[in-house]
Amino acid sequence: MSLFSKMTFLPSLGYNLLRNRWSTWNWFDRIDEQLVIGALPFFGPVTHQLYHSERIRAVVSMNEDFELFLYVTNHRHWNKLNVPFLQLRTSDIFHAPTLDQLSIGVNFILEQQKQLREHQDSNDCLALITKNEMLWPIRNQGKTLTIEGRDDFDGYNLPSIYVHCKAGRTRSATLVACYLIERYAHTPNEAIEELVRKRPQILLQKRQLEAIQNFYEYRQRNVSAFS
């Protein structure tokens, strides 16, 4: 665990909450018909939206353990909804996921997507989330998320995977860029450009860019997991 990450967690989280409330930053964004990237899935409307409107049926968290205890839907809550959960613990700010973590994460996403396409939510259960659990009104796509649902992603109704870190800007963006490389045979630049187009606030620095490049080179040396 990075001491710096732990010390900066709450201030950084507060900054992202304010940016979400007062700027154009969305709490989460859809990348394709089966993948959504975003920030921490708080109890209440955020998780309700993800489960019901976005049809999230598997989750990848890039967070350390301490980040998932503050009013966040973690593995115990997702398990109650029969949602597979993968945690790839990565320190924030100055760190990037390892090649092993990126490979595990991408393979998990692709395998879950395949299973979800085949089963189409045959075992859906009701979300155990109530209005009383709302702690902060999160705005997405220019709207405040409410318990009633969101209609701004018409046509994206396939069961999907949610990839998140704290803010959905760096750690999760690194994994999603690698997913785009694997899924669509993108180059690193193409993957990052696509990601920025869908979620402009992503922040990839030297270590994350190197991790993405390493994954791309690794992929070039191996048979694609998607083919």
- Is residue 165 one of the residues assigned to a domain? yes
The DSSP bridge pattern shows strands 143-144 and 35-38 to be unpaired
Residues belonging to the active site: 165
Q: What is the DSSP string of 71-92?
A: SB--HHHHHHTT--EEE----S
CATH of the domain at 29: 3.90.190.10
- Is residue 211 one of the residues assigned to a domain? no
- Is residue 119 one of the residues assigned to a domain? yes
CA 5 to the chain's CA centroid: 19
What's the pLDDT at 2? 60
Number of residues assigned to the chain:
227
Residue with tokens 């490389």: 181
What's the pLDDT at 135? 41
- Is residue 214 one of the residues assigned to a domain? no
Model pTM score = 0.80
Residue ranges of the chain with per-residue pLDDT less than 70? 1-23, 121-157, 223-227
- Is residue 219 one of the residues assigned to a domain? no
- State the sign of the Cα–Cα–Cα–Cα dihedral 139, 143, 149, 153: negative
- Is residue 87 one of the residues assigned to a domain? yes
- Is residue 33 one of the residues assigned to a domain? yes
The DSSP bridge pattern shows strands 139-140 and 56-61 to be unpaired
Domain count of the fold of the chain: 1
Listed residue (28, 25, 30) closest to 38, CA to CA? 28
What's the pLDDT at 91? 87
| Structural domain containing residue 16 | 3-169
What's the pLDDT at 67? 78
